[in-house]
Amino acid sequence: MHRTPWTKQNSSLPSDRIKPVVKAPTGGGSKGKGKGTQTPPEPPKSRAVRKLEKLLSEIKSASGAESDPQGGCFCLARRHDLSPYIPMCQSCGFILCDVNHPRYSCPSCQTNLLASSRVKQTIMSQIESELGATLAMELEEKEKALEEAQKAAGAFPQLLASSSSSMAQPTPAPPAQPQTHKVLSLQSTGKKSRRVIVSSYTTTPPPQSRPDSRNSNDLADEPVDRVPHPPLEPIHSPNPPKSQSRPWENLIHGAVSYKPQPRLDDDTSKGPSTPRRRRKAKGKENESAS
């Protein structure tokens, strides 16, 4: 049998006696494939969306028996807008403004406003519908802005599905590195001698802003002008009444005295004469003469 270098028998060539090296498969290819199939990061949510999501989570976990630590607001919707979720307490009829959080009890009678499961479910459905409408409006605004940008660039408008999928988060710019500048200056030490001085200056760029950390704190409760609880006792004058016969005398604006009006037929009055007064005086003279 004729032997060749490719036969399994021992060959005369030394290269055929070297065993081939089999490389073990590495996970680099799988990682590369996995990176290609990863979903892009979600764009940051707006403040209105995050506020509604926070309100929805608070309503879901609230029992309604907790009272407002800031005391609520007693403006009766005169200073602030009416609450869109619970406008009035069903127990005492207290009018609730939008400053009063729906997860707290009534600030007037401390009644649980979420005691009924139907009321709580209604509020949650209302917040979810507001959240969906807000997301749809923001998506429409983004698509409109993208279409206007494409028109300004001279590109053909794309379909809504492709445009919504192509809206990706822009890659952040790399941080700016400090730059070093060298300055060459000549300094004269004598009449004919000069010395060369090389100075280096390093400029450090300002730190970049971090929108994520700023957005995490923008949902904090802003200071609101609240109307406090009215006093339990009525306001009286600090001075006691002067006499026991007049316990309800008004001492806040000073004493009040009655001044009778002058009579028309009073001769001691110095007011101007009127035809009625002259007729009455003439009748008195006729009676005295008779």
124: confidence class by pLDDT, cuts 50, 70, 90:
very high
> What is the average pLDDT across 92-118?
92
Give the pLDDT of residue 76.
Answer: 92
Assess whether pLDDT exceeds 50 at residue 213: no
pLDDT above 60 for 31: no
Task: Name the band, by pLDDT with cuts 50, 70 and 90, for residue 22.
Answer: low
Q: Give residue 218's pLDDT.
A: 62
* pLDDT at position 97: 94
In the chain, % of residues over pLDDT 70: 53
The pTM of this model reads: 0.49
The structural domains of the chain, with segments of one domain joined by +, span 47-152
Average pLDDT, the chain: 75
When comparing pLDDT for 157 and 263, which is higher? 263
pLDDT at 44: 85
- The better pLDDT of the pair 179, 23 is held by 179
pLDDT in tens, 234-278: 776 666 666 777 767 666 666 667 788 887 766 555 555 566 766
**Model confidence at 110: pLDDT above 80:** yes
Query: Would strands 194-203 and 179-188 be described as parallel, antiparallel, or unpaired?
Result: antiparallel
Is residue 130 over pLDDT 60?
Answer: yes
